[in-house]
Structure 1
Amino acid sequence: MPDTPLTSAKPTAVPLRPSACPGLWRIVSARDGGICRVKLPGGVLLADQAEALATAAERFASGVIEATNRGNLQIRGIGSDHAALIDSLLDAGLGPRDAASDDVRNLMLSPLAGHDPAMLLDVRPLAGQILELLQGTPRFHQLSAKFAVQLDGGEGVAMLEHPHDLWLSPLQLDHCDWLAFGLASSPADGQVLGAVPLAQGLALVRAVLERFLDLASAEQSRMRQLLHADTAQAFIAGLGLPLRRDAAVLGWRRAAANRPWLGVVEQQHGLALGVAPPLGRLSPGMLRGVAKVARQWGDGSLRLSPWQSLMLTNIEAAGLQPARAELSALGLLCQADEPLTRLVACTGSQGCAKGLADTKADAVQLAAVLGGGAPGSVHLSGCSRSCAVAHVAAATLLARAPGRYDLYLRDARLSGFGALRATDLTLNEAGAMLALPTEHLDD
């Protein structure tokens, strides 16, 4: 994560709020230079925009581009010419020309929204309305730059474990489409608080945001903080909307999302191809190459995922093999059995002053130790903030010194990273422990 905001030119007179969270205009400092985060609507990046972003990363920064765990991209190592960088991204259509409205564009969808054969709803029209509401309502610009909404369509390719301030997920009742919702939790394990008809989805989002701002103190920037001081039942009682809260709603649970996000993925019509940059990092050449493949064999768009990966949709059957060959030649991971696809690492000490170890380099070394026996998700974190993963991974290696880590295994009964299993491990020692069969290391 970044540290201190840096001053940059702004195209509007709207002042940027103090925050350590980067945005399009808020370039923040880190050990390796400035960071600019580009929030992509629904995670979608057009091929022309990808090329513009790659050029900006080369011209105004170190050339390091990162996929984030909420389906966005960020540029690292930015130099002094912030205004030119921002203008180039705006000219490519990569943000609104209002600094305040950019902060609140935190709406996560499935990378296969509108295409997944398992989906119950095509949520893209409602997503567009929610983004317009967030961007176009000045009062909502008071929300924290971290305040986040998830709109789930019932897709099989979906991240259901990330906590959100508000999440909505579809269910069918009496042969009609409804939206269940929860607060300060995730669709995988969050409490369902009620449901509204699909047509009332936008009204529900508006009511939740307005009530949050009515009740929250200056110290309560996230929904979980507000609900620590009050109950969820009291919160929803003041929404002013008729909510359905019978057993069919309150007893509903979101089905598991079990379709792959890497490799060849079936769409409703045609095929998609999921690929991952190693440890979430793209070079400008990689990004241009993906854009070329998307334009030649797909629909000309890239979809960023919360697994720090990309998905190319509407790939022609005849182009599937050449597309995979080109992407693999670029250094992208195209198969789920490659060890690096199971590892996630933060920026580490090379780019962050708080990092206690070079987690990116250590992850590469650990992948070689694990080989084909990599367990389900392993997270290398340079400090306790867990910037690279928004939910608890099956296994977490928490840095304590260069090349030395404490090992935690996920345990639903415990907060934080889970159960501490070993301390002060070398990478070889950690790899040996992770290779042991254990019920806690699941997918």
Structure 2
Amino acid sequence: MLADMAMPSGNPHSALAAPIAAATGCAAPRERNDACPGALRLHQAGDGGLARVRVPGGVLGAGQAAALGEAATRLGDGDLHLTSRGNLQLRGLGEGSDVGLARLLDGAGLLPSAAHERVRNIVASPLSGLDGYGHRDIRDQLAELDRLLCASEEARGLSGRFLFGVDDGRGDVVTLGADVTLVAAREGGALLRVGADRDAGALRVDSAHAPAAAVTAAEVFLEAARECGVRAWRVGELPMTGGELAHRVAQRLGDAGRIVPVPPLPEVDDRGPAPGLVTAPAGPVALSVLAPLGRLTGHQWTLLVRTAERDGSGELRLTPWRGVVVPGLAPGRAPGALAALGDAGLVADPASPWRGVGACAGRPGCAKSLTDVRADAAAALTGNGNRNANGDGNGNGDGDGDGNEGGAQALPVYWSGCERRCGHPRGERVEVVAGMGGYRVSVVRGTGGPLPVPLSRHAPHTPYAPHTPHTPHAELAATVAAARNPRSTDEPRPTTTAPSR
């Protein structure tokens, strides 16, 4: 079982961590080890045990997906929950279910290394090789990165929050703010970016050595944290910039990498791949669907697995935008298969009001949440207080659609049951955060930094109590809709442009 990331015994920095931090400007040491849950170390939530299963790049074989469905049905609450990193969570796990879960996952090949299972955090462009965009198909790099990560003894010290990204050049994964990102270059090879600073330089490496360079960057990060004498979970927690770490990596790689400026990437849709049919100039068709608020029922998951087995290539791809892509369908069968997924309650229409809407677990799953944010989000979105959190997959409610009025693109919106804002996305977004006095609705500009600018501090929410029905709040719905509309804010939002084929 993976141990917590901790300072090695006998480390001379341990006793002097605070003085060193004060003298060098290092980030203050974390007071505890990373408690991020995994598949072997469960978290006890308000609704029972929670397991987070890492799925590098979101890629699952149909057999692996079926094993996850069995685990959810036999050991948990029957649902599967997509995370903002393209991983899966099982909830409602009973006491003692960890052993049975480990056996199921291991038998399906989902635990290649028990010591690394929490650090296999890799997001990848989900449409790579499917739609003709991007500069290369990155699936081979994804598999090699996972293999090398599991082979690195040093990488065992990474926290469960450290994130790798593999971008095929379209720029979708770069926006997620990974700690180490490989970006396919137009002229060949890859750019290795360390940290989320878009202005920092990158290392140019050849494609064959790119996965190894990414693992080296993670190992250099761990060395830097030890030198500073602090626990650091993410690159941004170190006193040095990503550019400074990149120069350290370049020294380690020698002739295999050189620092170059980062070229501009195309603007991408912050809401991820659009639901619907994914077509390429020639070849099979893929299906793209979203799970409303990230929750997939057992029936929906079974239907996805069967579609992949019978009509597709036998593969599912989970996206960091809480969606699922089913590749490899014959053009003649794809429309009918997509319609069946929509009928099952998945979002299959790009104009659905559910697109770009996310939420934390909320009540009753999380005891720290102040309300059932999923029910409130559904009520505000559809204008129907009796909606459950799955809503209407085809977007047939009375919501405001995806906000594409006048050709403008609506901002993503994320609902949080408390100030921790677990699972919130990066980039421009609307945040709806429950507090003791009601919801605060805010617009966040850029990829981080200052606190959001509040638009309203008085939108009410229903205090949570079991069996208490949630009623729609017209004021809240109107405030969120106005915040998502770019025309309601002071700064115009750049229009989305697609990468060249």
Partner of 2:210: 201
User: Is contact 1:69-1:389 (8 Å) kept?
Assistant: yes
- One-letter amino acid of the counterpart of residue 481, structure 2: A
Partner of 1:378: 413
Match of 2:301 among 265, 268, 287: 287
Moved more, 252-261 or 330-339: 252-261
- One-letter amino acid of the counterpart of residue 164, structure 2: V
Partner of 2:486: 438
SS in 2 for 1:312: strand
SS in 2 for 1:318: coil
Partner of 1:423: 457
Pair 1:338 & 2:352 matched: yes
Partner of 2:22: none
Match of 1:83 among 96, 99, 118: 99
SS in 2 for 1:306: coil
For 2:178 and 2:447, the matched residues in 1 are separated by: 20
Could you say if the C-alpha distance between residues 262 and 160 of structure 1 is closer, same or farther in structure 2, counting changes exceeding 3 Å? farther
| Stretches (4+) displaced over 4 A | 14-18, 440-443
Instruction: Write out per-residue CA displacement over residues 364-410 of structure 1, whole angstroms, 9 at most, x where no aligned residue.
Output: 101113613454211111122222323145211111149x3111012
Pair 1:223 & 2:235 matched: yes
For 2:448 and 2:83, the matched residues in 1 are separated by: 26
Partner of 1:324: 338
Matches within 5 A, 1:24-103: 24-80=39-95, 81-96=97-112, 98-103=113-118
For 2:189 and 2:402, the matched residues in 1 are separated by: 40
Match of 1:257 among 256, 268, 284: 268
Partner of 1:7: none
Could you say if the C-alpha distance between residues 139 and 167 of structure 1 is closer, same or farther in structure 2, counting changes exceeding 3 Å? same
Moved more, 71-80 or 365-374: 365-374
- One-letter amino acid of the counterpart of residue 298, structure 2: P
Could you say if the C-alpha distance between residues 183 and 319 of structure 1 is closer, same or farther in structure 2, counting changes exceeding 3 Å? same
Could you say if the C-alpha distance between residues 394 and 41 of structure 1 is closer, same or farther in structure 2, counting changes exceeding 3 Å? closer
Aligned residues: 418
For 1:232 and 1:93, the matched residues in 2 are separated by: 34
Could you say if the C-alpha distance between residues 58 and 203 of structure 1 is closer, same or farther in structure 2, counting changes exceeding 3 Å? closer
Match of 1:389 among 405, 409, 424: 424
Query: What are structure 2's unaligned runs of at least 5 residues?
Result: 6-32, 384-397, 404-409, 461-472, 497-501
- One-letter amino acid of the counterpart of residue 108, structure 2: A
Instruction: Write out per-residue CA displacement over residues 105-158 of structure 1, whole angstroms, 9 at most, x where no aligned residue.
Output: 1111111223331121222222222111110111110111111110111147x3
Partner of 2:290: 276
User: Is contact 2:34-2:233 (8 Å) kept?
Assistant: no
Instruction: Write out per-residue CA displacement over residues 205-254 of structure 1, whole angstroms, 9 at most, x where no aligned residue.
Output: 2331222121103422221111xx22444433332234434xxx415112
User: Is contact 1:367-1:374 (8 Å) kept?
Assistant: no
> Offset at 1:23?
1.1
User: Is contact 2:169-2:186 (8 Å) kept?
Assistant: no
- One-letter amino acid of the counterpart of residue 486, structure 2: T
Partner of 1:6: none
User: Is contact 2:148-2:212 (8 Å) kept?
Assistant: no
Could you say if the C-alpha distance between residues 203 and 86 of structure 1 is closer, same or farther in structure 2, counting changes exceeding 3 Å? closer
> Offset at 1:416?
5.0
- Normalised by the size of structure 2, how large is the TM-score? 0.78
- One-letter amino acid of the counterpart of residue 197, structure 1: D
User: Is contact 2:194-2:246 (8 Å) kept?
Assistant: no
- One-letter amino acid of the counterpart of residue 94, structure 1: L
For 1:116 and 1:297, the matched residues in 2 are separated by: 18
SS in 2 for 1:317: coil
Could you say if the C-alpha distance between residues 136 and 424 of structure 1 is closer, same or farther in structure 2, counting changes exceeding 3 Å? same
Moved more, 367-376 or 53-62: 367-376
For 1:185 and 1:273, the matched residues in 2 are separated by: 30
User: Is contact 2:80-2:89 (8 Å) kept?
Assistant: yes
Matches within 5 A, 1:136-151: 136-151=151-166
Q: Percent identity?
A: 30
Could you say if the C-alpha distance between residues 417 and 45 of structure 1 is closer, same or farther in structure 2, counting changes exceeding 3 Å? farther
Pair 1:266 & 2:279 matched: yes
User: Is contact 1:183-1:190 (8 Å) kept?
Assistant: no
For 2:279 and 2:436, the matched residues in 1 are separated by: 44
For 1:238 and 1:19, the matched residues in 2 are separated by: 25
User: Is contact 2:294-2:323 (8 Å) kept?
Assistant: yes
Instruction: Write out per-residue CA displacement over residues 298-320 of structure 1, whole angstroms, 9 at most, x where no aligned residue.
Output: 11211100110101111111112
Partner of 1:4: none
> Offset at 1:361?
0.6
> Offset at 1:64?
2.5
Query: What are structure 1's unaligned runs of at least 5 residues?
Result: 1-9
Could you say if the C-alpha distance between residues 164 and 413 of structure 1 is closer, same or farther in structure 2, counting changes exceeding 3 Å? closer
Instruction: Write out per-residue CA displacement over residues 149-200 of structure 1, whole angstroms, 9 at most, x where no aligned residue.
Output: 10111147x3432111111212244xxx1322322217xx453333223233
For 1:278 and 1:414, the matched residues in 2 are separated by: 25
User: Is contact 2:170-2:265 (8 Å) kept?
Assistant: no
Instruction: Write out per-residue CA displacement over residues 61-108 of structure 1, whole angstroms, 9 at most, x where no aligned residue.
Output: 111310111111110111012211221122122222x32111221111
User: Is contact 2:275-2:349 (8 Å) kept?
Assistant: yes
Partner of 1:119: 134
- One-letter amino acid of the counterpart of residue 280, structure 2: Q
Partner of 2:394: none
For 1:233 and 1:38, the matched residues in 2 are separated by: 31
* Superposition CA RMSD, Å: 2.4
> Offset at 1:54?
1.4
Pair 1:410 & 2:444 matched: yes
Partner of 1:5: none
Instruction: Write out per-residue CA displacement over residues 243-282 of structure 1, whole angstroms, 9 at most, x where no aligned residue.
Output: 434xxx4151122335843111123632111111211101
- Normalised by the size of structure 1, how large is the TM-score? 0.87
